[in-house]
Structure 1
Amino acid sequence: MQYRTLGRTGWQVSTISFGAWAIGGTWGDVDDAESMGALHQALDLGVNFFDTADVYGDGRSERLLARLRKERSEPFYIATKAGRRLSPHVAEGYNRQNLRAFVERSLSNLNVEALDLLQLHCPPTPVYYMPEVFGVLDELQQEGKLRHYGVSVEKVEEALKAIEFPGVQSVQIIYNILRQRPADLLFEQTQKKGVGILARLPLSSGLLSGKMTAQTAFAADDHRQFNRQGEQFDKGETFSGLDYAKGLAAVEALRPLVPAGMTMAQFALRWLTMHPAVTCAIPGGKRAAQVADNVSAADLPALTPEQMQAVQTVYEQHAKPWVHQGW
């Protein structure tokens, strides 16, 4: 495993970490015993950073991570998110009363006195123009309710605005082979300000595993079935915002680039960590075998300039026209 410094926290976090959305729900059937096996496997392989949210399974994901902390002695970091419990999900809801309530609930779910890292959970764009919201986070940090805070965003614009606030330690954003815009300007700015990048959906909702086909069926409660057009939340959260058929075509164009002995998922994760601004990738995993496959990407050789250029060509031909300006 490789490790990089997260923002200005001083934390050394695993470059391949663990995204805990899938073990909470909305990714098809999930079994808690299997999920715990995946979490233990991650720790065994050197993962020390886990990303969750209070809405993943209505707290289920957070509670599983609390179990992990109880069952293991080695230290690790848990990042959670707050805000998506609001209904309606509007900027005005990001007020002191609601944020405090969300934090208290996560503290209870995780069975801790202080959250390691709290992230605003893809709030509406106006929130980033509301200094009072970040003032509440400063208060909570001063009170010892959270150690650090950051943001999870949908758009590059939101990230650029968020890092103007001095307390922001991290930006979580979709970044993968099929969604490359963050590397245009954002990464340069986060490096200048000492802000970490947590790359979510690094495998583009599983597309970049190379295992999906036009015949792949998704469960009714899987967002890859019910959110393809953004019916429940931002369209960009599902297959990077790409039409499924276009995404499959992009994967076929990538397939010849994957070296022998490497899975496409490993190739996609190693591509992502080639950028020095990326602190870590946070692929999801519901099973121990998935985790082992993903984590092994951390120690693979660097991709060559020729491989990087070939990936860029695939992006420009198969994804950029449809996603680059969207987020």
Structure 2
Amino acid sequence: MMQYSDFAVSGRQVSRLGFGAMGFAGWFGEQSEAEHIRALLLALERGVNFIDTARAYGASERIVGEALRQWDGPSPFVATKVEGLAGITQWGTPVPVEHAFPKGQVIASCEASLREMRLERIDLLQLHTYWANWGISGTWMEELQQLKDQGKIGQIGISVPDHRSDMVLPIVMSGLIDSVQTIINIFDPTALEVLVPVCAHNRVAVIARCILDEGGLTGFLTADAEFPEGDFRRDYFDATVPRGAYIDKVDALRRFVPANASSLAALAIKFALHDPHVTTAITSMHVPDFAEANSAAMDEPRLRDEVFQLLMTRHRFIKNFNNVKHFGRLP
């Protein structure tokens, strides 16, 4: 049964399992647009009402908009992200904020998102990347506040670019934002130690992402698995650690299945949502099978606290695959 939580001070309740629409960009291989739409509609039918997309995700916003026009149920909570102009490096290393979000870029990106999804209002607009050296003020923040005052967006959020979640603590405590999106999974649970409690104290929503570690925590990866052209995971699992080491870490989790979860994927989802201060956890459900399987995990009992603690403390495998994702494999 789907669970819901309050989204910061919005007055809205959102599903604790969220629909990540990055897969609509084709970065996990090719699927048809019709299949994407079926997946989103199926997720909505299963009670998912939080959708996360971005200007940078290719056709994702347009596909989300088309699915919403076919949906006749309650309006979901739609979140998207401002497109930065500094190129791929803005997610890998800090760039000057005026390079990523120069004057007018936040407003222009929001207007484009509204047109693409054919919406009058976006529930949550997030900076797609945020670096601590940007501080908490500037044109970018003024434009976000302006859009909120105009009613074009409901809430303001930021997305942590990589695993260093503590870097956003000052802006979380500033009272200027409503949500933070950050990596939380079995292999890297560090955001649960500091960032999540600070967000809870400041009534800032937490959006967990990469909860399946780009699919690795589902156990799909094998020694001879190959990825098609266009799938960013062609290098992702091999460049920073030997693939065999990654597979060994996943295999160590198999002893928790089925006693504590029906599958490795369900175990990862339940782990990411164990802390009640995680508002929603998004995962890519770009095909109907993923939407069905991931939403089914919500029907399972909560992880026992002792199992969560064992996963939290003894199964960490912290590595920064983001450099590979954004810069490619070293020559």
Q: TM-score, normalization: structure 1?
A: 0.88
Question: Hey, what's the Cα distance between the residues in 2 that align with 1:128 and 1:243?
Answer: 37
Of the candidates 137, 146, 170, which is equivalent to residue 144 of structure 2? 137
Amino acid of the structure 1 residue aligned with 2:158: V
Question: Hey, what's the Cα distance between the residues in 2 that align with 1:187 and 1:312?
Answer: 14
Contact 2:29 2:228 in 1 (8 A): yes
**Secondary structure at 2:113 match in 1:** helix
Of the candidates 92, 95, 113, which is equivalent to residue 98 of structure 2? 92
Aligned length: 309
**Secondary structure at 1:4 match in 2:** strand
Question: Hey, what's the Cα distance between the residues in 1 that align with 2:127 and 2:217?
Answer: 27
Of the candidates 92, 102, 106, which is equivalent to residue 113 of structure 2? 106
**Secondary structure at 1:81 match in 2:** strand
Partner of 2:308: 308
**CA separation of 1:227/1:266 partners in 2, compared to 1, >3 Å: closer, same or farther?**
closer
Partner of 1:278: 278
Cα-to-partner distance string for 1:263-322 (whole Å, 9 max, x where unaligned): 110111011111111011101022111111101112211112332233134424xx14x4
Partner of 2:23: 22
**Secondary structure at 1:78 match in 2:** strand
Q: Spell out the pairing of 1:56-95 with structure 2 (5 A cutoff).
A: 56-57=57-58, 60-74=59-73, 75-87=75-87, 89=90, 90=95, 91-93=97-99, 94-95=101-102
- Percent identity between the aligned chains? 31
Cα-to-partner distance string for 1:18-75 (whole Å, 9 max, x where unaligned): 0000112222112101101101110110010100000101xx1101111122111221
Contact 1:151 1:162 in 2 (8 A): no
**CA separation of 1:156/1:111 partners in 2, compared to 1, >3 Å: closer, same or farther?**
same
Question: Hey, what's the Cα distance between the residues in 2 that align with 1:163 and 1:254?
Answer: 33
Moved more, 123-132 or 219-228: 123-132
**Secondary structure at 2:25 match in 1:** coil
Query: How far is the alpha carbon of 1:210 from its aligned partner?
Result: 1.3
Question: Hey, what's the Cα distance between the residues in 2 that align with 1:244 and 1:142?
Answer: 49
Question: Hey, what's the Cα distance between the residues in 2 that align with 1:185 and 1:197?
Answer: 12
Contact 2:7 2:14 in 1 (8 A): yes
Unpaired stretches in structure 1, ≥5 consecutive residues: 231-240
Question: Hey, what's the Cα distance between the residues in 1 that align with 2:211 and 2:39?
Answer: 18
Amino acid of the structure 2 residue aligned with 1:185: V
**Secondary structure at 2:178 match in 1:** strand
Partner of 2:244: 245
Question: Hey, what's the Cα distance between the residues in 1 that align with 2:174 and 2:54?
Answer: 22
Question: Hey, what's the Cα distance between the residues in 1 that align with 2:196 and 2:147?
Answer: 28
Contact 1:115 1:147 in 2 (8 A): yes
**Secondary structure at 1:168 match in 2:** coil
Query: How far is the alpha carbon of 1:227 from its aligned partner?
Result: 4.9
Amino acid of the structure 1 residue aligned with 2:37: M
Partner of 2:11: 10
Question: Hey, what's the Cα distance between the residues in 2 that align with 1:193 and 1:242?
Answer: 37
**Secondary structure at 1:39 match in 2:** helix
Question: Hey, what's the Cα distance between the residues in 2 that align with 1:280 and 1:24?
Answer: 22
Of the candidates 143, 150, 162, which is equivalent to residue 171 of structure 2? 162
Q: Does residue 204 of structure 2 align to residue 176 of structure 1?
A: no
Partner of 2:327: none
Question: Hey, what's the Cα distance between the residues in 2 that align with 1:111 and 1:67?
Answer: 9
Question: Hey, what's the Cα distance between the residues in 2 that align with 1:92 and 1:184?
Answer: 32
Contact 2:274 2:308 in 1 (8 A): no
Partner of 2:224: 215
Query: How far is the alpha carbon of 1:126 from its aligned partner?
Result: 2.6
Unpaired stretches in structure 2, ≥5 consecutive residues: 324-331
**Secondary structure at 1:96 match in 2:** coil
**Secondary structure at 1:171 match in 2:** strand
**CA separation of 1:250/1:229 partners in 2, compared to 1, >3 Å: closer, same or farther?**
closer
Query: How far is the alpha carbon of 1:226 from its aligned partner?
Result: 4.3
Partner of 1:238: none
**Secondary structure at 2:279 match in 1:** strand
